Amino acid sequence: MEVTISQKVQEHSEQVFNVRLNSEVFKHGKVAQLPALAHGISRMSPTDADLFRDAFQRESICYANSWLYLLRSTRNDEGDFGYKFVGEGTLAAIGYRHHSVYIVRPIGAGRLQMILDLCSRIYESLQCPIILKKIDRALYEQLSATQLFQAHADDLTLFEEEAFPEHILQLEHLYSPLADRDPRSLSLLKKVRRFEKSMKLLPEQDVYWEDLESNPGFQNLFGNNPGKYKSYKQIIREASSFRPRDGKYKVCAYYDERHAVHGLYISELFEKGSMGLYCAVSSKSSPGITEWMDYDFFRQLFQEGIHTLYLGGSETEGVDAYIKKLLPIAPSYLMRPMLMHCEGALSV
């Protein structure tokens, strides 16, 4: 490229932008031009699972090294597949929603230059916010040194589940006799036991997405937020499809006595003894129902030999506070989101 990203960002910063066309860009599908912006960009598809998993096996375990995570983080506003970048010693996933482009979990030797070049081309073409998700410590320091990205945003919703830090559960801490005496989990355990006396739910593990989505209680899992369902759509269909089970996923739905679904949980295996949790939705129809289902599903995992459960981060302060009642610990690694810093680019 003849003009560096530093020069382009400086040129943009000296102008006063009004990105009123931003919504129209996405509405009319201009984002579909992404493959034309750089060689190596193509649509994501279910056949890409092995490509990413093979790359993740060469990396240390973390919440973002998951096919299910990529399915959710690269979705578009309708919950459909996003894009991927493959080439130049780099692999990354690309999503587009909220009138923004997300570059997710870039790995490989050429990732720094790829991000700089790709962000420049995307912004020049689409003039939209660009968010980098799940940036590890080394890459974070390199990108910070360019002064082209910032680690905070006025609108934390842009960072989605990375608005608050990741947590990990060591399940033996939650199910040891000492957990009953820990003041941090006391209110959680009280709600679990109170709910057990008021309502009976039956867990079912052999479920398929067609049956789930036609269940009379399914829409109640997502309340009045259709976008929430779309964010989980590909995860649900991937993990509860009809292909042979190989132990990679654990899917559990909770039904009442009328067989209406009240909860859905999906986790993905990393290695023996470790899983990541990528779907935990509840109808919230009764006090304590969410706490009871969390406690029951995590206990199932523990009884099946899972000791470490990666929960990822949180979208809201309330969810973050709730997770802390589960006696979590911080992961040994550090992942952060970053926002491309362009004057006016956030004036959507």
**How high is the pLDDT of residue 342?**
62
CA gap 52, 54 in Å, rounded:
5
Placement of tokens 């931003």 in the chain: 22
Quote the Cα angle for 68-50-71, to 5°: 25
Identify the pLDDT of residue 22: 45
CATH topology of domain 5-160+335-340: Aminopeptidase (3.40.630)
Per-residue pLDDT, 339: 95
What is the reported pLDDT for 76?
A: 92
Instruction: Tell me the per-residue pLDDT of 78-120, one tens digit each, with 9 for 90 and over.
Output: 999 999 999 978 999 999 998 899 999 999 999 999 999 999 9
Are the C-beta atoms of residues 276 and 270 closer than 8 Å to each other?
yes
Q: pLDDT tens across 42-54, in order? A: 999 999 999 999 9
**In sequence order, what E strands does the chain have?**
41-43, 83-87, 90-97, 100-108, 130-136, 149-150, 164-170, 202-204, 249-255, 261-271, 274-282, 308-314, 335-340
Residue with tokens 């587009």: 96
What would the mean pLDDT of 241-265 be, rounded to a whole number? 87
Say whether pLDDT at 324 is over 60.
yes
Q: What is the pLDDT of residue 246?
A: 73
What percent of the chain lies above the pLDDT cut of 70?
Answer: 87
Q: How confident is the model at residue 28 (pLDDT cuts 50, 70, 90)?
A: very low
Predicted TM-score (pTM) of the model is: 0.87
Residue intervals of the chain classified under CATH 3.40.630.30 are 5-160+335-340, 167-314
Which of 131, 120, 125 has its CA nearest to residue 97? Answer: 131
Percent of the chain with pLDDT over 90: 66
Does 6 score more than 70 pLDDT?
A: no
**pLDDT exceeds 60 at position 267:** yes
CATH of domain 167-314: 3.40.630.30
